[in-house]
Amino acid sequence: MKISNFEDNTDLEDVKSLQIIIKAVPYEKSYLPVFVIMSPDENYSMSIDEVNSLMDGVEIAKSKLDEIINFILRKKIFNEDEDNDDEVDDDIGPTD
């Protein structure tokens, strides 16, 4: 399964299908991930294929989030290393 671009002029909010909202909710000086699966209306009948597709999308999104978090952490560590190198260079003055 793959996630592909939605190449339609329709707004995604107008598509009658299941959707998932995931949020980080503050809890005891930290955060908890919570999610809600919503249907477009109360009489909406869900198919197993639709639920499976939604769960596949969550798995793909999770792997992409892992990549994004790893990138951010590597970038932060790299920037901190550069800042430390600059501080060391600043401490070294001309020697006469």
Nearest to 19 by CA among 49, 51, 43: 51
Distance CA 73, CA 67 (A): 10
DSSP assignment letter at 4 = -
Instruction: Assess if residue 3 is contained within a domain.
Output: no
Instruction: Assess if residue 47 is contained within a domain.
Output: yes
Quick check: 95 pLDDT over 80?
Answer: no
Domain region containing 56 = 12-91
Distance CA 19, CA 52 (A): 12
DSSP assignment letter at 7 = -
Q: Lowest mean pLDDT: which of 22-26, 34-38, 75-79, 80-84? A: 80-84
Quick check: 60 pLDDT over 70?
Answer: yes
Q: What is the pLDDT, as a whole number, of residue 45?
A: 87
Quick check: 86 pLDDT over 80?
Answer: no
Give me the number of domains the chain comprises.
Answer: 1
